[in-house]
Structures are given as C-alpha cells and as structure tokens.
Amino acid sequence: MTQAGRRVAAAAGLLLALALPPVRHVLEASMSAQMLLQLPLFAAAGYLLGCALPARIGASAASWNYHGISGLVLASLASAYWMLPRLLDASVTEPAMATAKVISLPLLVGLPLALSWPRASFVVRGVFLIELLATLFRLGWLYLISPLRLCNNYLLDDQQRLGQLLLAAGAGLLLWITCKLLWGRFDLARYAADDQTGRPRPESGTPPTLSA
Amino acid sequence: MRSALRTSLASAALVLSGAALLAGATDGFRAFTAEAARRIAVRERSVMVPRVMLETQSGERIEITDLRGRWLLVDFIYTGCTTLCLALGSDFARLQDDLAGPIAQGRVRLLSISFDPSNDPPRELAAYLRRFHSRGAGWLAARPTNNAGLAELKQRFGITILPDGFGGYAHNAAIHLVDPQGRIVEIVDLGARSEIIESLRRFGVT
C-alpha cells in the first residue's frame, strides 16, 4: 500500500470509529471529551485525507491560497463555529447539526489545514498560532469563571473542568512556542515555500535543480 | 501580485460567508447558548403549550389547557431538589405576594410542574407548596400523568434535564410566562421577579 493509501485508510477508519454509536455516546457524554477529543479527532481525519491528496490538487489551488492564508482562515472560521456552546448543544440533540459537524470538521478544518500549513510562512504560522493560543485562553477562562451552565446538556463541573483543561492546553502550547523560538532551528528559506509547488526553495548557495 | 490579490479576495469572501453563517446560527449574534436561543425563539414565534394531563397537589386531574383564560407563570421542579428549585420555590412564593391582586381576580396563576413524576405524588407536591408557605391561592403544583406528556412538555418548553450524579438533576431553571391563549410568550431567569412583573404590566395584566 502506498503512503497515500495508508493515510486514506487511516482517515476512513478514524471516521468510522468516531461514527460508532457507543464511541459517539462516550465522547459526547462530557463537554471536555467532545471539545478536546471528538472535535479534534474529526479534524485529524480530514488532515490525513488532505495529506493523501495528490500534490497537484494543492498546487492548482495555490494561487488562491498564497502562503496557505485562505485555507487557514477557512479552518479557523469553521472551528470557531463548533466552539459555540449553542452548537455543541445542538450537535448532541439535533441529528441535522450532528451531520453538519461530522462533515464540516474533516472537510473544512482538517483538510484545508493539511493543504495550507506546509505553505504557510513563518509570520503566517505565527499569526495563526497566536490566535489559537488566545482562543484557548479566552475560552478556558470563560468556561472556568462562568457561574452559568453554557450548555444545557452539560453540568457546571464538567464545564469548569473543560475550562481548566483548555487553560492547560494553552499553557502547553505557549511553552512549546517559547521553546521553539528560543532553541528551535529555523530555516527561514524553507518557510518561504514556492507559491506554485509548496515545495521548499533550494538551499541558498546550491544551484537550483530541475525536478521531474 | 496576482496570487496575493486572489488570496485576499478568497479570504475576504470566506470571512464574510463565515460571518453570515454565524449570524444565522446565533439569531443575529444574539444567542450563543441554547438557553438564550430558546428565550428568543418564544419571544419571536409563539409556542403553544401542549395539551397534557396533569395531577395536582390535591390529586385532582386537569388538562393543562383547562387553565387557559388567564396568565400562567410556569416553572419546572422536582420536590427532591435542594438547589435550583429552592430558588424557584421562594421566587414563586414572593410572586404570590407581589401578584396577590391579579391572583385574587383570577387573572394570573402560578403553576409548578414536576419533571420527576414517579417521585412526586400529590402528597410530595403538597409538601413542596407547604415548604414555601404557599398562601394556597393561585399556586398549583402538578405532575404529568404519563411520560409522553412529560416528554411533550419538555420539548415545547425547551427543558433539558440531566442527572447530576448525586441522585438529583441539573435543569435549565427559569420562569415561563404563558398568555391566556396558551402561548409561551416569555422566559425569564429565576430571581428576575421584577422582570416578570414588568412583562405583566406591559401585557396590561397589572
């Protein structure tokens, strides 16, 4: 099996597993599990699919996806949508919203992320990482201090635990970014990927080569 | 640069359609929670109270629609509750005083509906009313006589009930204002008695 084939199989397996009623039930029984496991796993399935797509698909969209910006905007908007308490509630109780969640997270979050992140430059990645960081802290803080239940389907202590976990995730991400900035190796030329192919530019100093 | 321009256009289009979608999903950025959504929904599209058989604290059986012709303040409780329903109960007790006039004239009635009917026979419902020193007049406590009726009430009123893991329930507690035609017209927070009285004044009841 080719690498792409393995990725498609993994994505299909993941989607199938998430759709199994007992798995769905467990992941939707708590707010923390839905938000920190179910939603990211749906997006991960889409990411795997995106990685398996032939390079020419990403390349053909490249002129509309300069530095991956359009794709990252799409992924941010679609994921923001599923962070609203009202939609978390609705996706548990309304079949139409459950279907919308299953379709949109892989196709509108994971897949564009896979096509766009490798094209994103250092600055673009920084902007989106900071936005993710801010979102984790904002939502975590909101869930932690809200005296009201924001979802009718979840208990207050569950909501507060999710708040703590989101703050912890934010702290972890901040630590990772800090370490990366302090000690990481940055090949800035690599980030300045060629717009058309998404492949890294050749190292400076080495003569450009023709690739098949 | 063409691709930068195209990407700006694509991103702007995405942001605009995302905002439109979000506006649609949040009633125009007004309701970010299901609870806010249900309050806006009844204010904008009147929802009828379903025809459900109830058994009151005195054991009498009535159709909820028999109570039409006057304004109803409805809350959902279970008598084993030690948290929210206590607040709802004392709210209703105070409303009974605040609205003594309209209640005496038969224009307003308070109705507490139990969503735990198997544990709330008339005896428990009567004890619930006594616990809040109900003045008797105009405050009914009742339970649906069958599960289908309970399910229908929960659906129409938008009540979600969750076991809290300690033998009780968590529920979205609020006071529902029902007009004489049997339409749910407003939902207010518990504790917001002045809002209820203000609404009744706006509707010309007090």
What are φ and ψ of residue B118, in 5° steps? -70, -25
Instruction: Using a CB–CB cutoff of 8 Å, tell me whether B16 touches chain A.
Output: no
pLDDT of residue A212: 35
C-alpha pair distances (Å), A112 with each of A50, A123, A137, B175:
7, 18, 24, 45
Residue range A66-79: mean pLDDT, rounded: 95
C-alpha pair distances (Å), B89 with each of B39, B76, B140:
21, 10, 12
Of the given ranges (A192-201, B8-17, B153-162), which has the lowest mean pLDDT? A192-201
- Pick the residue of A77, A104, A153 with the most B CBs within 10 A to test the interface with B by mutation: A77
Reported as type and span, the H/E element at residue B144 is strand B139-144
pLDDT of residue A26: 95
pLDDT of residue B10: 94
Instruction: State the amino acid at position B175 in one-letter form.
Output: I
The pLDDT confidence band at residue B192, using thresholds 50, 70 and 90, is confident
Least Cα separation, residue A182 to chain B (angstroms): 31
Instruction: Using a CB–CB cutoff of 8 Å, tell me whether B31 touches chain A.
Output: yes
Q: Is the pLDDT of residue A114 over 60?
A: yes
The predicted-structure confidence for A162-173, as pLDDT tens digits, reads as follows 999 999 999 999
Q: What is the pTM of this model?
A: 0.84
Is residue A55 within 8 A of residue A197, CB to CB? The reply is yes
Instruction: Using a CB–CB cutoff of 8 Å, tell me whether A61 touches chain B.
Output: no
Q: Is the pLDDT of residue B103 over 80?
A: yes
Is residue B138 within 8 A of residue B46, CB to CB? The reply is no
The predicted-structure confidence for B115-144, as pLDDT tens digits, reads as follows 999 999 999 999 999 988 877 778 999 999
Q: Which residue has the tokens 């307003």?
A: B108
Report the distance separating Cα A124 and Cα A158, nearest Å.
34
Q: Is the pLDDT of residue A204 over 50?
A: no
Q: Is the pLDDT of residue A181 over 60?
A: yes
| Contacts across the A-B interface (CB distance below 8 Å) | 79
Is residue A42 within 8 A of residue A101, CB to CB? The reply is yes
Q: Is the pLDDT of residue A206 over 50?
A: no
The pLDDT confidence band at residue A185, using thresholds 50, 70 and 90, is confident
- Pick the residue of A28, A60, A86 with the most B CBs within 10 A to test the interface with B by mutation: A86
Question: Which of A64, A93, A150 shows the shortest C-beta gap to B7?
Answer: A64
Q: Is the pLDDT of residue A208 over 50?
A: no
Q: Is the pLDDT of residue B162 over 80?
A: yes
pLDDT of residue A187: 62
Residue range A172-178: mean pLDDT, rounded: 95
- Residue B103, judged by CB atoms within 10 A of its CB (0-12, 13-18, 19+), counts as buried
Cβ contact B172–A149 (<8 Å): yes
pLDDT of residue A192: 52
